[in-house]
Structures are given as structure tokens and as C-alpha cells.
Chain A
């Protein structure tokens, strides 16, 4: 028995050393740094300053605006990803000729890097030479080019659209797997009871895949919150802060202000918000739907 224990320990060792070294220890250090004055200029001589970094972050005049942007970004991104992903999954449930080929092609956005996606779309949405403007003008939907990314009133809408484009495959993949696990008998029983397409969807499909929907949404909210890449590849939070979200703000504090202490404080705030949100989410929706 002791020999087996030793083997178990040995097999787990590399993984947990790495997690300790790359994730957990830096998390604790991040917590410590958030109470220090630490910039690129005093890397080796940090100074303890209490809650000053947190005060600086929360009293920043733009903070609540950025927080509001983050909520808008997460809500609409995840909402439309879910809706369109669900529709796509429904369209793909029944096998048809070439389905595998179709999925192989249309799911590719999920394999791309957010940053490259941001760059790619910033070319398509370019206000002067962008192909989308050209298409819309040829269809006579608009009379002059729109600055999708540099006009503050369009920018948030544009980045959300890009994020939806990116995330639909993920929802489609997850929901498709769930849809295919629904026993056919349930539908047959519903049909005998005279259920139409709609009532089958509402009374059979959605309740059955509810656990998948709930956990996919949670997972995606966490990722979208922590995923500054798309916004960074397009607007970097601009124009005039219109697309600035918390994670982008943190990156900007690192790269432009070089203030690691303040950035860490903001990072800790983000982690707290996420933890609080996850706990609440799991409390509101039944715990039974999630198992480890």
C-alpha cells in the first residue's frame, strides 16, 4: 500500500509543482504586490503602502464607467453567443450529408487567437477602406462609410459582434453534444401528446440540456471577463474609453503606466468579482446541476 501511495504522489508531482509555481504562488504574490508600490523602476525594492493601490483603482474617475462597459461586454457577448450557438446546434442536430465537413469549416474561429481575430476584423471594419462599409454602401443600406471602431457610439457594438463571431462555435459545440444525448423516446412521448415544434423545444429540449446551458454560460462568462485579446487587437479600450473593460484596463496599466502594484490591485478586484459572481451563480441555480 505504501508503495502505491508513493506512486500516486510521484505521478501527481509534476502537475502540482507546476500549478503551485505558475498559478498559486503568483496568485499569492499578486495579492502581496497589490499592497506594494512596485513599478518597473523599483522592481527589487517594493514598498508596502497598504490599501493605496486599491484606493487608486476604485477612486479612478473612469472606474465605474469601465465596470459598466465590462457588464455590457459580458452580457451581450454571452447572450448572443448562446442564442446563435443554440440555433446553430439545433440546425446541426440531425445528421445530413457533409455535416462533418461543414462543422470542420465553420467552427474554425474557435481555434484562432483573439488578438489575430481583433486585427483581422479591424481591417474588415476599417472606416476608410473596410470591406463591410463597401458592402453596406453597395447594398444601399448606408450612404457614407461608418467608422465602426473609431466612432465611440459604434465601437462597443462592433467589438461585441466580433466576440459573438468568435464564441458561437464554442456554444454550438457544447450544446450540440448535449442535444445528441437527449433520448429519442422523450420526443416520441411528446409527439403522442400532440406537442408541436415549439412546445417540444420548450418542454423537452431546453429542460433536458439546462445543466449544459448553465455551466457553458458560467464558463464563458469567466473567459469573456478574462479575455482582453479581442479588444486589444481592435481598439485597445478606445475610442475615448468606449470599449475599455477591466481586463484591458489592467493590461494598459502594466504597459503604459508600468505600475505593477496598481495593476495587481485591479487584478485582485477582478478575481474577487469573478469569485463572488461564481458563488452567487451557483447559489441561484441548483447546485445539483454541477458535479466535479
Chain B
């Protein structure tokens, strides 16, 4: 019994230590963003702001025009996530339910595509899109993010669908439903949380992408949030409380989406990546 107690104390201590390790950076950046500029660069460090101020956020959204970048990012991430989800659902369904000659080759392609470093593709993509006169537009990065998201989305969809019994669908066919009707009436409702997971996975990835966006978008009103942060770094004299506010704003949507869909993302990752 005593041994059991030592074990549970060790466990609790371990969980607390990791909690601090994981959460501390976030708390610190939020605290920094709420400090008056004069208290940011003091050493020894002032932990709590003497007064909470939103001046960093005000600067961010007025002078640094962050609302434009925020809107661009939301637009790009939502559109590409929506498109990749729809396409992933279509191809994932087919790849999980039908057997045909090229199926294996297509699946292998999907896995291989994950291994190509995205920044090797960036340059040809850039020359391609500049020939199409599409660089410096949100459309170009939406297309690219959709292309990057659809491979993993398809793998995840297939994994989810494989664990969904075929029988529910087949029962509907026997009842006289057409394939398509059965898909919408029977499969989709059960599958909806997984659709949310795939959508949020693609959303988070697109929202976080930096390098393609930096290469593709150069005019000020076209930038996305990561590109704006990137340009902050090179601008001399940037205040760290403003930077901290920028990071907090950049984190908000993904943390929010991840918190909601976390359970299903986990399910999808473990099934998709391991038993594709």
C-alpha cells in the first residue's frame, strides 16, 4: 500500500512539473503583452505588470494594421481548409470503400508526398505561379495550402472511414437508398465530428505556414499574420510587448480550434499516420 502511495505522489509531481514546463511560456508571453512599454526591458525581471494595459494591442491594430493580416489569414486558412476537407472526403471515401488497380499506387503517392520538403516545392511553385501572374495574391497560397492539406486529409479520412462499419451503409442500400443518398443520410451524420477534425487540422496547418507566404506575398495589404510577424523581426526597434501581442493574436485561432477538435485530431493522427 505504501508503495502505491509513493507511485501516485511521483505521478502527481511529474504531471505538475510538465504542466509548468508546457504552460509557462504562454503565460509569460501574455503577461508581456499586457505590460506598459517601460516595464518590458527591466532586469531583474518584473513579473507582474504594475498596471494592465492594452497599449501593445492598440498599437498592433492601429499602427501595425494587424486587422488586415488577421482577415487575410482567416480568409486563406478557412478557404483552403474548406476545399481540402471537401476533396479529402471525396477521395478518402473512394479509397476506403472501393478496390481498383491503381489504388495502392495512389495511396503510396499520398504517403510519399508527405516526405518532400515543402521548401523544395516553393521555388517551382513560385515560378509556376509567376508565369500564371498569380503571385502576390491570396488565391495562390490558398491553392498551395489546399494542395498540401489534401494529401494528409485524404489519409485521415480513409483511416476514419475504415473504422466506420460498412454495414450501416449497406443496410441503407437494402432499404432502397441510392449510394449517394445513403452517403448523405447515414454516413455523413456519424462522420461529422471527424469532418471537423480534418477541417481544423488543415486550418491549423495553413494558419501556421510561414515560408511560402513570405515568398509569395509582398505587398503590405496582402500579408498574412505569420508574414507580418516575420517582417516585425527584421524591422529595427520593434517593441517586445507589441511583438508579444502579435504572437498572442497569432496563437488565438489555432489554440481555439485545437481545443475544440483536439480529441478527434488525436484519433485521426493515430489512425491516419500509423495504420493508414
By a beta-carbon cutoff of 8 Å, the part of chain A in contact with chain B is 4-5, 8, 11-12, 14-16, 18-19, 21-27, 29-30, 33, 38, 43, 84, 87-88, 91-92, 100, 102-116, 119-121, 123-124, 128-131, 133-134, 137-138, 145, 165, 168-169, 173-174, 176-178, 197, 211-212, 215-216, 219, 222, 225-226, 228-229, 232-233, 247, 250-251, 254-255, 260, 263-264, 267-268, 270-271, 274-275, 278, 291-292
Smallest distance from the beta carbon of B5 to chain A beta carbons, Å? 14
Does B78 have its Cβ within 8 Å of any Cβ on chain A? no
Contact A120 B247 (CB under 8 A): yes
Given contact pairs A104-B262, A113-B226, A174-B274, enumerate 9 new A-B contacts (beta carbons under 8 Å). Answer: A22-B125, A24-B113, A26-B125, A27-B124, A91-B11, A100-B263, A106-B23, A123-B32, A267-B120
Does B154 have its Cβ within 8 Å of any Cβ on chain A? yes
21 intermolecular pairs with C-beta atoms under 8 Å apart: A23-B121, A25-B124, A29-B128, A33-B123, A106-B22, A113-B226, A115-B210, A120-B247, A123-B28, A123-B243, A124-B28, A129-B240, A133-B43, A177-B266, A177-B267, A178-B270, A228-B119, A254-B215, A278-B115, A292-B108, A292-B276
Contact A254 B123 (CB under 8 A): yes
Q: How far is the CA of A229 from the CA of B229 in the complex (A)?
A: 13
B contact face: mostly helix, strand, loop, or mixed? helix
Residues on A with beta carbons closer than 8 Å to the beta carbon of B106: 12, 16
Contact B146 A18 (CB under 8 A): yes
Number of chain B interface residues as a range: 35 or more
Which of chain B's residues 238-276 have a Cβ closer than 8 Å to chain A? 240, 243-244, 247, 250-251, 254-255, 257-259, 262-263, 266-267, 269-270, 273-276
CB closest chain-B residue, reference A176: B266
Which of chain B's residues 22-76 have a Cβ closer than 8 Å to chain A? 22-23, 25-26, 28-29, 32, 40-45, 47
Does B104 have its Cβ within 8 Å of any Cβ on chain A? yes
Residues on B with beta carbons closer than 8 Å to the beta carbon of A43: 127, 130
Partner of A113, one of B47, B143, B254: B254
Smallest distance from the beta carbon of A284 to chain B beta carbons, Å? 18
Residues on B with beta carbons closer than 8 Å to the beta carbon of A30: 120-121, 123-124
Which of chain B's residues 96-154 have a Cβ closer than 8 Å to chain A? 98, 100, 104, 106-111, 113-125, 127-128, 130, 143-144, 146-148, 150-151, 154
